[in-house]
């Protein structure tokens, strides 16, 4: 095994566990061997651990007083080819927005030169904002989607990447010609990803949504996911107009979620984006199927889709993570997703008033890390600092050279953590580790050529 990425980190660590949303571990050391956490112990026992774990001579990184480490952020829903549109064209509701802005930009990615440049910018930006694992939608174009995988691999990010399927109710210039073509291309995509033997990237089956996929296509995609034991991602109940359209297209089904269920798309490895307008029977259904929900609050406000009642779903034990949903959401950072999660939850509490407990920042942090790992069915290997998990982590420096947040003498570790969550940004993310490997110096981002 290559030992060059083995490392020991010493200082303060903050993470979520199954019982607590944010635990602060002061004066600890974490040993990383072969990309995974080998030991966690008190800082005073570092030498003993190095000996015990056969890691003598390993590089040691000591954090300064105000620095701390958190698990890397997990973005459970993001459209890489929509990044060129991030921050523009948010003046329409979902269906009109898709036609006016989204399908046109996605269609450009069949030009591989355009795709190479735009995808590199997108992944770079997402990574420098601390997203160590992203669940990406690409486009319908297989070769461009493979190019996205190559770029993610090159930059060292962990990702699920989906070639999008859509064969109906789509513009002539951006649609797959038949079920057969859509399935053949998806098979080609899966085989190509497998043959490239990436260490951090896996394919995910990606029917765009029930409006853009016929029943046969959805069924065949469900079969394909089963055949290859793959995760699935799609959109569900994002806006009221969308739900009405689906009900019209599929009058023989009990609900929007039932369409996915009857076509075999609801599995314990399914990531359902939005879920703002679920009925109680739909909540029961996705709970029974153990699907995860990607909560994308920035997008839900920007496209005026609705306010998800995250507390309600969490109380019913639905798995939940956060998504930026670029470019329905305009911000590529999960820090933003956490903040807007709280705004939406606070708004719910204002609307519902009595007895409603809005989410707090620690819960939002848990959703952004361990919650995301659960939604992506990766909680055995990701999401927090437990022995045996991959060391995917961010070194946060609240006092970094270009920081725009201020720390005061009497600020304790929890204050620094909260200030970073509410007012920090990528300038406070000093180092990024994925599978123990330091993958990115954010400074590099500023020298990315705008070709």
Q: State the residues that interact with Zn ion by CB under 5 A.
A: 273, 325
CB atoms within 10 A of CB 89: 17
User: Least distance to ligand GUN from the beta carbon of 356, Å?
Assistant: 26
User: Least distance to ligand GUN from the beta carbon of 234, Å?
Assistant: 8
Q: Which residues pair with 440 in a beta bridge?
A: 432
Q: Which residues bind ligand GUN (CB under 6 A)?
A: 79, 94, 98, 102, 208-209, 235, 238, 299, 325, 328
Of 136 and 417, CB closest to ligand GUN: 136
Residue 208 contact partner, candidates ligand GUN, Zn ion, none, CB within 5 to 8 A by sort of partner: ligand GUN
Rounded CA gap, 363 and 181, in Å?
Answer: 43
Of 55 and 138, CB closest to ligand GUN: 138
Is-contact 221 174, C-beta < 8 A? no
- List own/partner pairs for 349-352 with CB under 8 A and 24 or more apart: 351/307
Residue nearest to ligand GUN (CB): 328
- Tell me how far apart the terminal alpha carbons of the chain are, to the nearest angstrom: 38
User: Least distance to ligand GUN from the beta carbon of 7, Å?
Assistant: 38
Of 30 and 276, CB closest to ligand GUN: 276
Burial classification of residue 112, based on how many CB atoms lie within 10 Å of its CB (0-12 exposed, 13-18 middle, 19 or more buried)? middle
The answer to whether the bond into 93 is cis (omega within 30° of 0) is no
Of 98 and 243, CB closest to ligand GUN: 98
Residue 209 contact partner, candidates ligand GUN, Zn ion, none, CB within 5 to 8 A by sort of partner: ligand GUN
Do β-strands 232-236 and 270-274 pair in parallel, antiparallel, or remain unpaired? Answer: parallel
Of 70 and 94, CB closest to ligand GUN: 94
Q: Token pair of 53, please?
A: 């774990």
User: Least distance to Zn ion from the beta carbon of 253, Å?
Assistant: 22
Rounded CA gap, 420 and 339, in Å?
Answer: 11
Q: How many angstroms from the chain centroid is the CA of residue 55? A: 33
What is the sign of the dihedral through the CA atoms of 354, 357, 358 and 361?
A: positive
Of 162 and 383, CB closest to ligand GUN: 162
User: Least distance to ligand GUN from the beta carbon of 263, Å?
Assistant: 16
Is-contact 317 284, C-beta < 8 A? no
Residue 39 contact partner, candidates Zn ion, ligand GUN, none, CB within 5 to 8 A by sort of partner: none
Residue 238 contact partner, candidates Zn ion, ligand GUN, none, CB within 5 to 8 A by sort of partner: ligand GUN
Of 325 and 379, CB closest to Zn ion: 325
Residue 94 contact partner, candidates Zn ion, ligand GUN, none, CB within 5 to 8 A by sort of partner: ligand GUN
The torsion defined by the Cα of 423, 426, 428 and 432, in degrees rounded to 10, comes to 140
User: Least distance to ligand GUN from the beta carbon of 238, Å?
Assistant: 5
User: Least distance to Zn ion from the beta carbon of 325, Å?
Assistant: 5
Tokens 């055995």 correspond to 380
User: Least distance to ligand GUN from the beta carbon of 299, Å?
Assistant: 5
Of 325 and 397, CB closest to Zn ion: 325
Residue 161 contact partner, candidates Zn ion, ligand GUN, none, CB within 5 to 8 A by sort of partner: none
Listed in order, strand segments (DSSP E) in 336-428 are: 393-396
């Amino acid at each position: 095994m290559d030992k060059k990425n083995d490392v020991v980190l010493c200082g303060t660590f903050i993470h979520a566990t199954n019982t607590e949303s944010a635990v602060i571990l002061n004066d600890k050391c974490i040993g990383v061997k072969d990309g995974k956490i080998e030991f966690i112990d008190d800082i005073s026992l570092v030498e003993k651990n190095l000996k015990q774990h056969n890691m003598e001579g390993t590089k040691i990184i000591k954090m300064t007083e105000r620095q701390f480490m958190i698990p890397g952020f997990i973005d459970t829903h993001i459209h890489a080819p929509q990044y060129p549109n991030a921050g523009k064209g948010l003046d329409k509701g979902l269906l009109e927005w898709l036609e006016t802005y989204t399908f046109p930009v996605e269609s450009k990615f069949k030009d591989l030169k355009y795709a190479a440049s735009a995808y590199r910018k997108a992944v770079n930006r997402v990574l420098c904002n601390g997203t160590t694992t992203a669940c990406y939608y690409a486009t319908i174009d297989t070769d461009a989607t493979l190019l996205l995988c190559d770029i993610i691999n090159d930059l060292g990010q962990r990702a699920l990447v989906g070639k999008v399927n859509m064969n109906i109710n789509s513009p002539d210039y951006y649609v797959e010609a038949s079920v057969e073509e859509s399935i053949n291309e998806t098979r080609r995509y899966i085989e190509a990803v497998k043959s490239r033997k990436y260490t951090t990237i896996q394919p995910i089956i990606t029917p765009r949504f029930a409006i853009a996929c016929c029943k046969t296509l959805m069924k065949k995609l469900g079969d394909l996911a089963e055949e290859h034991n793959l995760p699935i991602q799609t959109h569900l109940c994002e806006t009221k107009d969308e739900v009405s359209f689906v009900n019209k297209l599929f009058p023989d089904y009990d609900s929007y979620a039932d369409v996915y269920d009857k076509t075999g798309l609801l599995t314990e490895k399914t990531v359902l984006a939005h879920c703002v307008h679920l009925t109680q029977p739909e909540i029961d259904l996705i709970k029974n199927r153990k699907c995860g929900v990607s909560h994308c609050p920035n997008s839900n406000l920007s496209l005026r889709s609705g306010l998800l009642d995250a507390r309600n779903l969490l109380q019913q034990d639905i798995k939940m993570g956060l998504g930026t949903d670029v470019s329905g959401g305009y911000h590529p950072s999960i820090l933003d997703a956490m903040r807007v999660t709280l705004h939406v939850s606070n708004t719910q509490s204002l609307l519902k008033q009595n007895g409603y407990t809005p989410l707090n920042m620690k819960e939002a942090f848990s959703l952004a890390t361990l919650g995301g790992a659960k939604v992506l069915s990766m909680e055995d290997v990701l999401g927090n600092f437990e022995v045996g998990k991959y060391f995917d982590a961010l070194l946060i420096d609240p006092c970094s050279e270009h920081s725009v947040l201020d720390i005061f003498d009497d600020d304790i570790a929890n204050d620094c953590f909260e200030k970073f969550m509410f007012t920090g940004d990528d300038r406070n993310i000093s180092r990024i580790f994925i599978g123990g490997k330091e993958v990115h110096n954010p400074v590099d981002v500023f020298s990315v050529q705008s070709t």
